[in-house]
Each structure stands twice: as C-alpha cells, then as structure tokens.
Amino acid sequence: HAWYARAHGRTNELMARPHAVVVPFPGSGNINPALQLAKLLHRHGVYITFVNTEHNHRVMETAEGAAAVRGSEGFQLETIPDGLVEADRDAGDYDLGLSAATSHRCAGPLRELILRVNGRAGVPPVTCVVPTALMSFALDVARSWVCRAWCSGVVAPHR
C-alpha cells in the first residue's frame, strides 16, 4: 500500500494507511458482524469504507437516528443500491431475491463507488476489499485493478 501511495504522489502518513472497503451481504444477520470486523480493523489503523445498501442505510437512519449512519475519522459509510425493486422487498423469499439482485446488479455501483473514493482528497487509496459471503461480485471488482481481496468466511452471520 505504501508503494501505491508513493507512486501516486500520496506520501503523507494518512495516505499511506491501508484502506479496506468492507462489503457485507445486506440480509438479516450479516451487517453487524461485518461492522464489528470493520471497527476492529479501524482500531488497528486501517482506513475503512463500510458499504451498506441505500435501503438498509435508510432503515438504520430511521431506527437509530442520523448519528448511526455518520462516519468518523478514518471510517466512512457509503451506500450502493441493492438491485431490488420495491415490489421484490415484499416477496416471500426475500433473501433469495436479494442474493440474486446483489450478485447481478451491484458490481457496477461498487466499482463506481471505489473509483469515487479513490479520487477523494484526504482519503488513502483502496488497498483491500473485504466482502462477506454471497458478495463474490466484490472479488471481481477488486481484481479489476491492483487491489487485494479477502473473502471473509470468518465473518459468519449470527442470529
């Protein structure tokens, strides 16, 4: 990561920090374990971009207030669409529909998000993408440029 920062003229300490993009599956029981992993990495000096879906972001904001969806120094919260249309949210097998929608429709929005994040002043370049189970499209996005991907089987959903 330091070589990338130097190669792109980003030499100060912040810009040389590792930067992980954490991408949890947006279904029930998946977000909190990924958020706990992201917080642990952040405490150890990793810059974090935590990616939630627009729908879940709104739900969290409504339930817990604006402070729940605000980031902090070195920890930013971002959103992408989940690929579902509103009618699909009421379907009988919501998680199956959500899985299909994210795997087929979220790679482009995630790629665009990472490009935007990489272009922001004061934000270190993305060095790692950490998708949880069912978010394998994020591995393809990470491989599309020099970026490591780590698929987290240890961030298992719990109920």
Question: How is the beta sheet containing 128-131 ordered, strand by strand?
Answer: 75-80, 47-53, 19-23, 128-131, 148-149
Mean pLDDT, residues 73-78 taken together? 92
Domains of the chain: 17-25+33-149 (3.40.50.2000)
What pTM does this model have?
0.79
For 47, the enclosing helix (H) or strand (E) is: strand 47-53
Question: Where does the pLDDT of residue 140 fall: very low under 50, low under 70, confident under 90, or very high at 90 and above?
Answer: confident
Predicted local distance difference test score (pLDDT) of residue 6: 52
User: When comparing pLDDT for 74 and 64, which is higher?
Assistant: 74
* pLDDT > 50? residue 159: no
* Burial status of residue 21 (CB atoms within 10 A of its CB: 0-12, 13-18, 19 or more): buried
- pLDDT, mean of residues 126-130: 92
Mean pLDDT of the chain: 80
Give yes or no for residue 57 having a pLDDT over 50.
yes
